[in-house]
Amino acid sequence: MQFKINPKNPSSAALRVVPIFESETGKLQTENLGFSPPSSFLFSGKKDSSYSFESGDQLVLLIGLGKEPDYKTIETSYRRILSKSSSLVEKEVFLDFPDTFTAEQTEAALVGFRLGSYSIGFYKKEKPKDFHKLKVEVGSSLDKAKSLAERAEKIADAKIEAFKLVDLPPNKITPEYLADWAKDLGKKSKLDIKVLDAKKAKSEGLEAFLAVGRGSAKEPKFIILEYRHPKAKLHVGLVGKGVTFDTGGLNVKTQGMHHMKSDMGGAAAVLATTQLISDLGLHVNLTAIVPAVENAIDKDAYLPSEVIGSHAGLSIEVIDTDAEGRLILADGLSYLIKNYKTDQVIDLATLTGSAIGTFGYECAALFSNDDTLSHGLQQAGEMIGEKSWPLPLWDEYGKEMDSEIADIKNYHGKPFAGAITAAKFLQAFTHEHPAWAHLDIAGVAFGDTEFAKTKTGTAYGVSLLLTYIESQL
């Protein structure tokens, strides 16, 4: 799909898409559009509504956006076009934007439109419709329309990559696949990629990470991506949970195990964000770490009650092998902080069912020891529709993780405060870094949407991290 700017000339494309805001009076403001508006009984520009009709040789599709649409509303409305109304689309589409459409609104629309080309039918005999050759004329009078369209393409491509990494099955998305994905990105862009295999991870002391991987036939990979810009004044560190499948280990899961192909949602967000930051050439330094591992069962699998080591040097009593995410993140965080000294550290992880119990599927649980960082993330997410809300890191919760036999245990074994105690566990491995944030994205990385009949990847984190990082530049 190619975006081509057409600054306000009429287009002969078979389909013309026009966004309509809901007007106070109920009367559509379509004076400049060259067609008579439908009666307000049929269409009044309400959010989530649309209306199509023929005008001359053209099919016109009106997209209702409501009164004051936010970024996500516009993105979702435009995603519906290819995702749901692809029968209206042939070789060419004209996305016609009124002069009042802002740069941000245009970006949201273009990102959404491109996301509509994504479909998860990867393994079907009948392949989903291919939009690669689709010509998309962008009717915008904005000065920077061209750079805006290029930016939107990059954002959408990163999000699609994040969708895919979560949606593809765990026999495809293995730790090795994620490592190769990073290496490929390194070849395409100016990124430095390092992958530690099990042997190298051992020599680096990543013992908690390796313990989780012991029960799997698939070799764990500890992936490091370094993006550097000569004009950077800020160094951001990211860590993403990359459990390519979570059986629970010997504390085997009994419910909904098939959803656990999404247990690398944090990794997907971190990898896709790294791709995007580098595609956009942002003036920032970024170091991203993805501990990638499968939590499986086998004669070598780690046992509940084992005491294992960690990169930070703390011994860990394993109460529950299903609390594996915090073990690999502990090593990811410690390794990043000891070796890279980034100004800020942000981890994203599908960490606890408790985060879902607290916030459902709308909002991630946010933890941070730095108020500015916490507010920045919360606000960035609010702006682009990836919500998060803070929970406390009070010491009393940390006491719950005290172990008799080791320095710390990985589960307090009690039916309360699961997301908070998990965050406290992580904090013990951050070497008191002054600006650390943890996003528990268990409820938001993978979910039901109008775009598929099963749960699918949401790319939660990509727009959030982009917006947050850009807000600091």
The footprint of Mn ion (CB under 5 A) covers 246, 322, 324
Judged by beta carbon, residue 116 or residue 291, the one nearer Zn ion is: 291
Q: Do 122 and 172 form a contact (C-beta atoms < 8 A)?
A: no
Q: SS3 letters for 286-325?
A: EEEEEEEEEECCCCCCCCCCCEECCCCCCCEECCCCCCCH
Q: What is the rounded distance in angstroms from the CA atom of residue 331 to the CA atom of residue 410?
A: 13
**Looking at beta carbons, which residue is closest to ligand BES?**
353
Burial class, 29, CB count within 10 angstroms (exposed 0-12 / middle 13-18 / buried 19+): middle
Q: Do 249 and 299 form a contact (C-beta atoms < 8 A)?
A: no
**Is residue 238 a contact point for ligand BES (CB under 6 A)?**
no
Q: What minimum distance in Å lies between the beta carbon of 457 and ligand BES?
A: 12
What the block records as the tokens of 288 is 């991203």
Q: What minimum distance in Å lies between the beta carbon of 123 and ligand BES?
A: 23
Candidate list 8, 146, 253, 387, residue with the active-site label: 253
Question: Hey, which bits of 50-190 come out as E strands?
Answer: 50-55, 58-64, 92-96, 135-139
Binder of residue 352, out of ligand BES, Zn ion, Mn ion, none (CB less than 5 to 8 A by kind): ligand BES
Among the listed residues 379, 382, 387, the one whose alpha carbon sits nearest the alpha carbon of residue 362: 387
Binder of residue 320, out of Mn ion, Zn ion, ligand BES, none (CB less than 5 to 8 A by kind): ligand BES
Q: Which residue has the tokens 């566990």?
A: 425
Residue 161 phi/psi, 5-degree rounding, is -60, -40
Q: Who's near 153: CB < 8 A, 6+ residues apart?
A: 3, 110, 114
What the block records as the tokens of 316 is 């860990």
**Looking at beta carbons, which residue is closest to Mn ion?**
322
Alpha-helical segments (H) within 341-458: 353-359, 371-384, 395-399, 418-427
**Is residue 180 a contact point for ligand BES (CB under 6 A)?**
no
**Is residue 263 a contact point for ligand BES (CB under 6 A)?**
yes
Candidate list 326, 409, 424, 455, residue with the active-site label: 326
Binder of residue 284, out of Zn ion, Mn ion, ligand BES, none (CB less than 5 to 8 A by kind): none
Q: By rule CB under 6 A, what string of x and - marks binding of each residue 301-320 to ligand BES?
A: -------------------x
Q: Do 467 and 384 form a contact (C-beta atoms < 8 A)?
A: yes
- 3-state SS, residue 236: strand
Q: Point out which span in 9-17, 152-160, 350-358, 368-376 binds ligand BES (CB under 6 A).
A: 350-358
**Is residue 324 a contact point for ligand BES (CB under 6 A)?**
yes
**Is residue 381 a contact point for Zn ion (CB under 5 A)?**
no
**Is residue 440 a contact point for ligand BES (CB under 6 A)?**
no
Q: What is the rounded distance in angstroms from the CA atom of residue 11 to the CA atom of residue 147?
A: 21
253 belongs to the catalytic site:
yes
**Strands 363-368 vs 2-5: parallel, antiparallel or unpaired:** unpaired
Among 21, 163, 227, 411, binds ligand BES (CB under 6 A): 411
326 belongs to the catalytic site:
yes
Q: What is the rounded distance in angstroms from the CA atom of residue 174 to the CA atom of residue 245?
A: 8
What the block records as the tokens of 286 is 């970024």
Judged by beta carbon, residue 187 or residue 414, the one nearer ligand BES is: 414
Judged by beta carbon, residue 191 or residue 444, the one nearer Zn ion is: 444
**Is residue 418 a contact point for ligand BES (CB under 6 A)?**
yes
Q: What minimum distance in Å lies between the beta carbon of 324 and Zn ion?
A: 6
Binder of residue 418, out of Zn ion, Mn ion, ligand BES, none (CB less than 5 to 8 A by kind): ligand BES
Q: Point out which span in 38-46, 163-171, 246-254, 454-462 binds Zn ion (CB under 5 A).
A: 246-254
Q: Point out which span in 33-41, 137-145, 181-189, 352-360 binds ligand BES (CB under 6 A).
A: 352-360
Q: What minimum distance in Å lies between the beta carbon of 446 and Zn ion?
A: 12
Q: By rule CB under 5 A, what string of x and - marks binding of each residue 256-285 to Zn ion?
A: -------x----------------------
Q: How many CB atoms lie within 10 A of CB 452?
A: 17
Among 246, 279, 331, 386, binds ligand BES (CB under 6 A): 246
Q: What is the rounded distance in angstroms from the CA atom of residue 52 to the CA atom of residue 30?
A: 14
**Strands 456-457 vs 363-368: parallel, antiparallel or unpaired:** unpaired
Q: What is the rounded distance in angstroms from the CA atom of residue 424 to the CA atom of residue 394?
A: 8
Catalytic residue positions? 253, 326
Q: Which residues of this chain interact with Zn ion, rule CB under 5 A?
A: 243, 246, 263, 325
